[in-house]
Amino acid sequence: MIEILTPAGLARAKDAGALVADILSTLRSRSAVGTNLLDIDRWAAAMIAEAGALSCYVEYAPPFGRGPFGHHVCTAVNDAVLHGRPHDRALADGDLLTLDLALALGGVAADAAVSFVVGDTRPPQSVAMIDATERALTAGIAAARPGARVGDVSHAIGTVLSGAGYPINTEYGGHGIGSTMHQDPHVPNTGRPGRGHRLRPGLLLALEPWVMADTAELVIDADGWTLRSATGCRAAHSEHTIAITDDGAEILTVPG
C-alpha cells in the first residue's frame, strides 16, 4: 500500500515526527557510560505513554522477526545495526549506539534513528561512518521532490555511501510510512536514477541510510531480531521521516 496523506493527516504526521525527535533527543542525552539498554527502553515507554502515543514496536511481528518485538525502542550497539532488541547490557566508553524509534500519534506514524558514540572516546572509524550515513541522509532528502522517482533518492544515498567506501546492503532500507509504520515503496540505499515509484505531495517516506564498515552481509542474533555485521565490524544508521511537499521535502523528525 502507498498512502497519500491529506493536509489534516500531514498535520498529525508533523506532531508524531516532533514527538519522535524529542524522545530520541532525550534518550541520547541520557545514554552515558554505565547506562543499561533496558533503562533506555523503559524511558522510551514512559515518554511514549505520557504523550498519549502508541509504540510501533511492542506488538510488531513481521515475517522476519521471532514473535512480537516486545520493546519500545531499538538499541543497536557496535556491530549491531538494525532491530537491536534491548537487553541487560551496560554501555561502555566508546560504544557506538544506534537508537531507532517509531510511534504513532493521532493515527499517523513517524520513524527516526540516530547513531552516536557513548562517552569520551571517539574512534575515528566510527565517527567517519556515522558522518557518512548523515551525509547520505541529507543527499537523499535533497533528491526527494515531486516528480522525482524512488531511484533518484536511492541513487543520491548510495552515491555518498559508496563514495565513502562502504559496501551497501539493499535488503533493508527506507520505506513509505503513514497510518502504519512500514508501507510501500521500498527505498533501497542505492539504486538507478529515473526508476521506481514517482513521488508526489502527501507521500511520507522514512529514509534510513545504514552501513557496516567492511561488509554488506548481516547475521541475526539468537533473539531472532537483532541484525549484526557478519564480520563483527561496527555499523551506523541515520533516519528521518520526510513529507513530500509541493516544493520538495519537509523533515518531520526534528526536535521541536
Q: Please return the burial class of 6, using the count of CB atoms within 10 Å of its CB with bins 0-12, 13-18 and 19+.
A: exposed
Residue 62 has what pLDDT?
87
CA-to-CA separations, 14 to 90, 102, 135, 219, in angstroms, rounded? 33, 13, 23, 35
Q: How many whole angstroms separate alpha carbon 74 and alpha carbon 211?
A: 16
Q: Pick the closest to residue 235 from 208, 210, 207 (CA basis).
A: 210
Q: Pick the closest to residue 186 from 223, 149, 159 (CA basis).
A: 149
Angle CA 246–198–169, to nearest 5: 115
DSSP run (H or E) holding 154: helix 150-163
Torsion angles phi and psi, residue 148, rounded to 5: -70, 165
Residue 88 has what pLDDT?
98
Cis peptide bond upstream of 185, omega within 30: yes
CA-to-CA separations, 44 to 58, 59, 96, 99, 115, in angstroms, rounded? 12, 15, 19, 10, 16
DSSP secondary structure of 18-30: HHHHHHHHHHHHH
DSSP run (H or E) holding 74: strand 74-77
- How many C-beta neighbours within 10 Å does residue 255 have? 12
Q: How many whole angstroms separate alpha carbon 95 and alpha carbon 254?
A: 24
Residue 65 has what pLDDT?
80
Residue 98 has what pLDDT?
98
Domain 7-251 has CATH 3.90.230.10: yes
Grouped pLDDT means (10 residues each) for the chain, 256 residues = 95 98 98 98 98 97 88 98 97 98 98 98 97 98 98 98 98 97 97 97 98 98 96 98 97 89
Residue 255 has what pLDDT?
80
Q: How many whole angstroms separate alpha carbon 145 and alpha carbon 224?
A: 37
71 contacts 101 by C-beta, under 8 angstroms: no
Report residue 100 as a C-alpha cell: 531507532
Domain boundary assignment for the chain? 7-251
